[in-house]
Amino acid sequence: MKLNKVLALMLALSLVILMSACAAKPTPAAETTAAPTTAAPTEAAKEPVTIKYVQQLQADESANEFYKQLMAQYEEASGNKVDFELIPEDQYRTWLTTQFAAGSGPDVYYAILYDAAADFGKGYLYNFNDAVKQENKYEPGMPWRDTISDVLMDRCVLSDTEVIGVPTTTSAVRIFYNVDLFRKAGIEKTPATWTEFMDSLAKLKAAGVTPIAFPNATIADLNYLWFGNSVVSQLATKELLPKIDLNKNNFAEQNELAYAVDEGLLDFSSPAIQEAFKLMKDFSANWNNDFNAMTQQDALEAFLRGDVAMTMTGSWQLRLIDGTEKSFEYGVMPVPTIMKDTSAFAQEQSVVLGGQPDGIMCVNKASSPEKIEAAIDFAMYMSSADIQAQKTENVYVLPTSQTVSLPETLKGFMITEDMLRIAYFTGINEEIRNVYHRGGQQYLAGDISLDEYSKTLNEAYKTVLDALKTENGWTKDNLYGTKK
């Protein structure tokens, strides 16, 4: 069945999460300018085609203006026209679902990974398999597929004959730290391991400094999600993944998670996962006291004022951070690596928050042939090195192009960690995210026990995955959709 392949694409809800966060976070309206771009090679004259393109409205108005400039650039380069619409982030998915259900979806749109996979599975999307083998006329000299990062492109491939779209955005999350406060506390070396990290937190507290602003007010305040996925992955994935990876692609898909739950292999009361939750609770003793009421924006503002030594956010906030007058130097670091001195379950490699396709150009297969052709042309343009470089400089996302280097401002976001191979809390749906977040609030506040929290997660997983098994026809007989 195709479905097990489609579901591989749903893992990157951390990127879902990351780009949603990007869309939701305000940054100052700095002026951005899209640089002129070289037009595509001249072809036989064609009538201009108007395509409908939609993406999420950014909280940063300068980013919206930048994307509008990109549309004008594309129109000049291609001769086509773009009916460009920005949909508010909290309405975006509902709007798209409604449009596709009515048979009137946009010609091309920007999708997070697991939504793109779901839309392809429902039969809404054009298959890019043949298109990506062609030369990108905006970046000639090699097949289109070869101009894009292999890791990112591979996440859009369902099978040897199915490609859901082309990645045009990725990002990564980092811990931002105040170098001056670190020095004040006697921390001269950036902590790389969990033990070093916890020692640094203790030194900051002893110096009278709040170690970290940790926002956890709502599901949109993502630090607990980001940290939790990494910490649980660092302890549980190495042993669990080989047992549930039915199609041997080194990532856990939804049908494989259903298999894992049915077989008792994925259990949130297991020693490894419970130890991860205990590490998170120990860590929480170093957060601001009002963490369950703090928002992501509150945390960033506290960091920029110098009130706290650290906070966690993504590359998309660099304009705000660099554009805000500060009295201190800052640095960035990944989630520290958990070593064997902290846990016997440690895989001794950190796990990245991000590094997956955050935004994929998808094309509506119900559009007319002329519009599909123009939409593919638009996707080529948006994934080209020139446009990727402009996006990197203007909106601080990481390039998906093989040929675009990271600017100095993004060097700290170069990915050296392992991938998020089991998206424990982001790879299924929002119901799981809500249970994880709300239960986490209660567990961290001492309102429920660890066993109660684990039981709640197990029950939610089973309920949601049982429904997905019914919906998709996954059974033991067909090995959860892996037997054709």
Tens digits of residue pLDDT in 245-298: 998 878 888 889 999 999 999 999 999 999 999 999 999 999 999 999 999 999
| 328: DSSP letter | S
What tens digit of pLDDT does each residue of 429-481 get? 788 999 999 999 999 999 999 999 999 999 999 999 999 899 888 999 999 98
| Residue 478 domain-assigned (yes or no) | no
Q: Which amino acid is at 317?
A: Q
Q: Which two tokens stand for residue 340?
A: 């064997």
332 and 185 together in one domain: yes
In this predicted structure, the answer to whether residue 7 has a pLDDT above a threshold of 50 is no
Q: Where are the beta strands (DSSP E) in 170-300?
A: 173-178, 210-212
Distances (CA, A) of 107 to 90, 160, 196, 272: 21, 25, 51, 46
Q: Which two tokens stand for residue 57?
A: 């409205």
312: three-class secondary structure by DSSP: strand
101 and 66 together in one domain: yes
341 and 218 together in one domain: yes
Answer with the residue of higher pLDDT: 112 or 22.
112
CB 119 within 8 A of CB 100: yes
Sign of CA dihedral 79, 83, 86, 92: negative
CB 252 within 8 A of CB 428: no
pLDDT band at 356 (very low <50, low <70, confident <90, very high): confident
**What's the distance, CA 9 to chain centroid?**
12
The confidence score (pLDDT) of residue 407 equals 83
In percent, how much of the chain has pLDDT > 90? 66
Q: Which amino acid is at 58?
A: Q
pLDDT band at 41 (very low <50, low <70, confident <90, very high): very low
The confidence score (pLDDT) of residue 448 equals 98
What tens digit of pLDDT does each residue of 158-212 get? 777 899 999 998 888 999 999 999 999 999 999 999 999 999 999 999 999 999 9
Distance CA 54, CA 365 (A): 16
Contacts of 43 (CB under 8 A, 6+ apart): none
CB 109 within 8 A of CB 76: no
15 and 155 together in one domain: yes
147 and 285 together in one domain: no
User: What does pTM read for this prediction?
Assistant: 0.78
The confidence score (pLDDT) of residue 476 equals 94
Distance CA 441, CA 228 (A): 12
Domain count, the chain: 2
257 and 406 together in one domain: no
Q: What is the CATH number of the domain that holds 279?
A: 3.40.190.10
291 and 377 together in one domain: no
Distance CA 67, CA 202 (A): 44
The structure tokens 């305040």 sit at 221
Distances (CA, A) of 69 to 119, 292, 385, 394, 481: 28, 39, 17, 12, 44
159: three-class secondary structure by DSSP: strand
Distance CA 319, CA 450 (A): 39
| Residue 422 domain-assigned (yes or no) | no
| Average per-residue pLDDT for the chain | 88
| Residue 482 domain-assigned (yes or no) | no
The structure tokens 């990108």 sit at 136
| Residue 286 domain-assigned (yes or no) | yes
The confidence score (pLDDT) of residue 21 equals 39
329 and 310 together in one domain: yes
| Residue 481 domain-assigned (yes or no) | no
Q: Which two tokens stand for residue 50?
A: 């108007």
In this predicted structure, the answer to whether residue 14 has a pLDDT above a threshold of 50 is no
What tens digit of pLDDT does each residue of 66-101 get? 999 999 999 999 999 999 999 998 899 899 999 999
200: domain range? 173-351+428-472
The confidence score (pLDDT) of residue 40 equals 46
C-alpha closest to that of 219 among 448, 439, 445: 439
388 CB neighbour count, 10 Å cutoff: 24
| Residue 479 domain-assigned (yes or no) | no
C-alpha closest to that of 383 among 366, 367, 397: 397
CB 410 within 8 A of CB 318: yes
Distance CA 185, CA 203 (A): 6
| Residue 436 domain-assigned (yes or no) | yes
| Residue 181 domain-assigned (yes or no) | yes
- Average pLDDT (211-233) is 95
157 and 278 together in one domain: no
| 260: DSSP letter | H
194 and 342 together in one domain: yes
Distance CA 201, CA 196 (A): 9
Q: Which two tokens stand for residue 102?
A: 């009515």
344 and 359 together in one domain: no
pLDDT band at 426 (very low <50, low <70, confident <90, very high): confident
374 and 308 together in one domain: no
Q: For helices 254-262 and 223-244, what crossing angle results, to 10°?
A: 70
Q: Which amino acid is at 179?
A: V
